[in-house]
């Protein structure tokens, strides 16, 4: 439950605003199978919330030099583009929550493990981009999630103390990042559950973004 109105709300993107983690997981499993590698949901879970360089290192350590990671990732992105074009499915309640916060005068920013340009290219077509005062991509910081740098940068860009920010996350790495930055954190689980270790870092777990909206509307 959220009891105090935040000065700003900091959003993750994939799996929180956009229902993309499932798309990426399915595409990676298909492309890895085509390359002759076994790739399970548990393998993908290690990558959720991490920036591209960290994902590359994990995959190369797991599958060895026989995996052309860059070629695989390009094929994954092309597969998703072929299916979805420029649009990505929104998570339920995403547009309504952002509109609610904008109407209330609460600053909003994105802190994502995707690159800045990619984030803008995905948020624009679904009508969310203009609702954010700042977008922090993984290429805007020296260290990505789970390091606190993305959330520290987002709060700094807004000119708000991280302690007065509410961070919304779906991934364990994102929760660790936001908590480490000093934000209050609500997890809206997507592919990963809120484990006991993650719950210890959270203000609350919400089943969906509509619930977050109701909590914020009732907050003093």
Q: 21: which 2 tokens?
A: 């983690």
Residue with token string 């797991």: 62
Q: Which two tokens stand for residue 171?
A: 């991934």
The number of angstroms, rounded, from the C-alpha of 70 to the middle of its chain's C-alpha atoms is: 21
Burial 109-119 (b: 16+ CB within 10 A, else e): bbbbbbeeebb
Catalytic status, residue 14: yes
Active site residue 82: no
> Looking at residue 170, what DSSP letter applies?
S
Phi, psi of 159 (to 5 degrees): 75, 30
Region for residue 64 given its phi and psi (left: phi exceeds 0; alpha: psi -120 to 50; beta: otherwise):
left
The residue length of the chain stands at 220
Angstrom distances, CA of residue 81 to CA of 56, 65, 74, 86, 181? 21, 27, 10, 7, 34
For residue 91, the 8-state DSSP code is P
Give the residue numbers annotated as catalytic, written as ranges: 12, 14
């Amino acid at each position: 439950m959220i009891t105090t109105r935040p000065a700003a709300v900091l959003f993750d993107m994939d799996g929180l605003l956009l229902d993309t983690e499932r798309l990426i997981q399915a595409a990676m499993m298909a492309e890895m199978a085509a390359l002759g590698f076994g790739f399970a949901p548990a393998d993908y879970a290690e990558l959720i919330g991490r920036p591209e360089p960290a994902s590359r290192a994990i995959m190369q350590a797991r599958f060895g030099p026989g995996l052309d990671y860059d070629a695989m990732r390009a094929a994954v992105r092309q597969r998703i583009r072929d299916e979805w074009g420029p649009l990505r499915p929104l998570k339920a309640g995403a547009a309504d929550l952002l509109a609610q916060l904008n109407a209330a005068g609460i600053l909003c920013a994105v802190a994502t493990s995707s690159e800045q340009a990619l984030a803008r290219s995905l948020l624009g077509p679904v009508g969310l981009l203009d609702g954010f005062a700042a977008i922090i991509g993984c290429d805007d910081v020296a260290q990505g999630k789970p390091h606190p740098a993305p959330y520290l940068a987002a709060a700094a860009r807004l000119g708000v103390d991280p302690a007065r920010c509410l961070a919304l996350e779906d991934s364990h790495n994102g929760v660790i990042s936001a908590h480490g930055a000093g934000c209050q954190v609500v997890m809206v689980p997507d592919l990963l559950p809120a484990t006991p270790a993650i719950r210890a870092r959270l203000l609350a777990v919400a089943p969906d973004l509509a619930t977050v909206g109701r909590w914020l509307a009732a907050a003093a």
